Amino acid sequence: MHLLARRCCSHPGIRALHLSRIVAPRWAEHSSSLDTHRPLSPFLVRRNYIQASKFPRWAEAIVIGGGPAGIAAVGTLLDHIPEGTIVWIDRSSFKGGSIGQLYREVPSYSPAGDYLRYARTPKSFRDIVNAAPKPNAITALEELQPDMTCSLSYAADMLELITNGLLKHDRVEPVVGNVTNLGRNPGTRRWYVTLEPNEIGHDQSVLKYQTPMVVYCTGSHPITTELPLDIPRLSLETGLAPSRLAKLLPTDKPCTVAVIGDGHSAVLTLRNLFYLAAISHRHLRIRWFTRTANLRYAEETPEGVILNENTGLMGEAARFARAQLEGDKLETSDAGAFITRVILPTSAGNDESATRSPEELESEVLAQNLEGVDYVIQAIGFTRSRLPALVPRLSPYRDPLGKPKRMVFNALTGWFFPNFASRSNVIGLFGAGSAFPELEFTSEGWRSPAVSIWKFMRFLQRMVPKWIEATKKGKFAEPPNRQECIEEAPRVVPPERLECIEEAPRLHGGGSS
């Protein structure tokens, strides 16, 4: 009967009224005289033909995001929630997030062995891998050296294989769409989620769900800032894709591209441009804006400790930088024939410019050296993607209670709480992935964001069982230590002002870096 209710596409008639009495598991039930309709609408269809339902449909958990963290969250939830539906929402097409859609040509930061560990950790993943015809993405990874980096296309193929398996899972309901609102009724401890489907075939403009548990895995995108000159931009995604660069840049006339940044993405972009200039685009020249001539590298000590693991150059980027860009080598290297380095000021100095801010000095240097540039690529980091409007407290009638509040994110446990609530309170809202990474101790003793496919999985494997248990009780068994790193999450805003969401969180608490 349960499967029939999830798969039928019949007109809401007698059968529908009967099946609508299916109730949620006891741990998720919180009675309310004004909220008596229990989950699982009889009109639920798993793919494109979801018919309208008067009441929000039930889900054991909702995961927002189709990238590596979202995939890992769905798989881990399936392992730890033995029955019921996991609703999985992606705003595009369930193609492995940015890695699958934008970064296939990028050399990886992590070794190939990390991608295999990711694919083999949840039981739900192992079932998918074992059932997949060979050869496949996993067998391709197995042929690589596990301690060496590789092209992200290997990781993208692995993510696509697992995603396709999850999309066919009986307990996963995938929806392509944009979440517009999340609101929580504290009386029932349920989140009410509203989204607008993007798929062709949906016969309704809005879908609604209710659930005790929501997991944000919404990902991140490159940061862009205003520049002193109005110059056409190329996205960082383009800079990291040699095939796209080759098509966009002219081969028959002079062209100058500026690259701003000195991290992993900036070095890979410089590498791509250099290869084009040396082989096919002989008129191409590059101006590199950096704050230092001496780059930072991830290095392993004799004791096996990796220094600068989360921030230093690694793999192909490190090899290219050491050989072509580092310090004085740029003056005599092959890349130096095409790349000109411009050092941006980091302080005001000791002369009459000391009264001016570093930002003002940097803007002046950029304005002077961006003259004559045809395109600019900024590689200055990533920020979390836009989040839906969120209201932590709703009335029984699902109307917002009080004024919008700021939500606070605990970057060690992965859970959110309203700033007016106790830190031990759990409201069933969690985050993971590049948008909300764990803060881990580095070998130098600092806290640093743990951003990699394997680190997302490792964090979720450790925390999802605790999230489920804490959601049942409304509290963590052991309240977080006051010295833990706490991050202020985006302000709650109405849907029409989504652009006002704060995307540069502040970190607080002892031990944070």
Task: Compute how many other C-beta atoms are within 10 angstroms of the C-beta atom of residue 268.
Answer: 25
Residues 6 or more apart whose CB falls under 8 angstroms from that of 178 comprise 91, 195, 196, 198, 388
pLDDT at 444: 64
Radius of gyration of the chain (CA): 25
Please give the residue that has the higher pLDDT: either 512 or 195. Answer: 195
> What pLDDT, in 10s, does the model give residues 138-149?
999 999 999 999
Q: Say yes or no to pLDDT of 137 above 70.
A: yes
Sketch the domain layout of the chain as residue ranges: 46-220+386-508, 230-379
Name the residue with tokens 């930088």: 321
> Hey, which residues does 208 pair with through a beta bridge?
194
3-state SS class at 156: helix
Q: Say yes or no to pLDDT of 322 above 90.
A: yes
Name the residue with tokens 């007109």: 11
pLDDT at 443: 63
Q: Say yes or no to pLDDT of 74 above 50.
A: yes
Q: What is the CATH number of domain 230-379?
A: 3.50.50
Tokens of 453: 């496919």
Q: Is the model's pTM score more than 0.85?
A: no
Give the containing element (helix H, strand E) for 424: none
Which amino acid is it at 134?
K
Tokens of 412: 């060690």
pLDDT at 422: 65
Find how far residue 347's CA is from the centre of its chain: 33
Tokens of 132: 């997949």
> What pLDDT, in 10s, does the model give residues 336-367?
999 999 999 986 555 555 677 888 899 999 99
Alpha-carbon distance values, 201 to 58, 197, 207 (Å): 22, 10, 13
- 230-379 shares the fold of 46-220+386-508: yes
Q: Confirm if 170 and 44 have CB atoms less than 8 A apart.
A: no
> Hey, which residues does 288 pair with through a beta bridge?
259, 341
Mean pLDDT of 224-245: 96
Q: Say yes or no to pLDDT of 311 above 90.
A: no
Candidates 381, 414, 401, 379; CA nearest to 487 is 414
> Hey, which residues does 179 pair with through a beta bridge?
195
- Please state whether the peptide bond connecting residue 404 to the residue before it is cis, i.e. omega within 30 degrees of 0: no
Of 151-165, 314-328, 488-502, the one with minimum mean pLDDT is 488-502
Candidates 422, 512, 410; CA nearest to 459 is 410
> What CATH topology corresponds to 46-220+386-508?
FAD/NAD(P)-binding domain (3.50.50)
